[in-house]
């Protein structure tokens, strides 16, 4: 089975490998439950519980393989000493405190479950037969924030302890910490779920900044729609009202600058990352632009495109690779 994992670390390179969706379920009237895999981790690591480890390996074999092999990088999950390696890894005073803090902060996940249920219900109306993943929470030891693989979606609660969480101040910059709070969980889940279902097509003639910002902009536009955002990027990108206003006031001039500087057709990874990643900001006219400014521009371009093509479904749009006709209307984009 081809496995794909999407990591929320500001990366912009997404695999084009297909995802096995055969195990995905339909939502119907079901309530989405966030299964507390993180508590199994806690029991296994803190109390060396063989029962908890057994449940991790039987009830959550796929999630455990992802955790051991991809997230924590402890080696093959079927090696004889993997349990010992796992316990030794978390036998660190910082991680012990982190796990306890997570348990205290996230005793109740009902608000997250409510929002996930509502969001997937709206998404399913627009894209029928879209598989709904089995959602679980985990402790990633400050590695990946969200993992999506096949029919499961994992939320690393330890990456959402709030911008002022003391431990974060030792390892992250302020522009990174602003996206590490509880209210970012649901938008991140839908963003990376959709990127998993509809990965960017890396092709020789389809890998410019413009191609990426349109793909990411479409995903962000959909996330805003299903989560009820009243302004572009406010929910999907976590923009403040002030940032949205500034972007709206300056988008025409900014688009012109990006076009005249030939950035839109650039395939330079550093250029692309500076406009797409939430961890990097662009300086323009002695001002630091909001993070992921390219994605925000993509949201606006997609909104305009959809306004002119109201007959196209979300599914068709997500499967569409080429939006370059917008560039042909460059003088009248906004």
pLDDT tens, 121-170? 999 999 998 999 999 999 999 999 999 998 999 999 999 999 999 999 99
Mean pLDDT of 286-293: 92
Q: SS3 helix, strand, coil % of the chain, rounded to 5?
A: 50, 5, 40
Provide, rounded to the nearest whole percent, the portion of the chain with pLDDT above 70.
89
pLDDT range class, residue 243, cuts 50, 70, 90: very high
pLDDT range class, residue 28, cuts 50, 70, 90: low
CA distances from 232 to 56, 110, 167, 191, 225 (A): 40, 26, 31, 14, 9
Mean pLDDT of 5-25: 37
Global pTM value? 0.89
Question: For the chain, what is the mean pLDDT?
Answer: 89
Handedness of CA 191, 8, 240, 163 (dihedral sign): positive
Mean pLDDT of 21-25: 39
Q: Is 66:96 a contact under the CB 8 Å cutoff?
A: no
């Amino acid at each position: 089975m081809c496995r794909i994992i999407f990591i929320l670390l500001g990366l912009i390179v997404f695999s084009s490998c297909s995802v096995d969706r055969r195990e995905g379920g339909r939502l119907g009237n079901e309530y989405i439950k966030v299964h507390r895999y993180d508590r199994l981790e806690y029991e296994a690591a803190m109390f060396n519980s063989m029962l908890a480890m057994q449940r991790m390996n039987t009830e959550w074999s796929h999630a455990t393989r992802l955790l051991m092999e991809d997230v924590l990088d402890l080696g093959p999950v079927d090696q004889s000493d993997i349990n010992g390696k796992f316990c030794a890894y978390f036998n660190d005073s910082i991680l012990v405190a982190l796990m306890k803090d997570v348990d205290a902060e996230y005793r109740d996940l009902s608000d997250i479950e409510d929002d996930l249920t509502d969001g997937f219900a709206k998404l399913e109306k627009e894209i029928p037969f879209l598989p709904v993943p089995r959602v679980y929470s985990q402790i990633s030891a400050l590695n990946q924030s969200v993992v999506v693989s096949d029919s499961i979606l994992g939320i690393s609660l330890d990456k959402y302890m709030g911008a002022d969480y003391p431990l974060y101040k030792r390892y992250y910059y302020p522009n990174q910490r602003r996206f590490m709070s509880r209210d970012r969980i649901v938008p991140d889940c839908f963003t990376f779920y959709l990127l998993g279902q509809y990965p960017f097509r890396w092709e020789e003639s389809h890998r410019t900044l413009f191609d990426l910002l349109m793909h990411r902009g479409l995903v962000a536009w959909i996330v805003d729609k299903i989560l009820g955002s009243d302004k572009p990027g406010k929910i999907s990108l976590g923009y403040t009202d002030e940032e949205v206003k500034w972007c709206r006031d300056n988008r025409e001039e900014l688009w012109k600058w990006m076009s005249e500087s030939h950035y839109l057709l650039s395939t330079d990874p550093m250029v692309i990352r500076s406009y797409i990643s939430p961890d990097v900001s662009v300086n323009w006219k002695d001002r630091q632009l909001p993070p992921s400014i390219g994605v925000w521009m993509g949201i606006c371009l997609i909104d305009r495109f959809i306004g002119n093509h109201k007959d196209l479904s979300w599914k068709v749009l997500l499967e569409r690779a080429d939006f370059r006709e917008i560039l042909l209307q460059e003088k009248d984009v906004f």
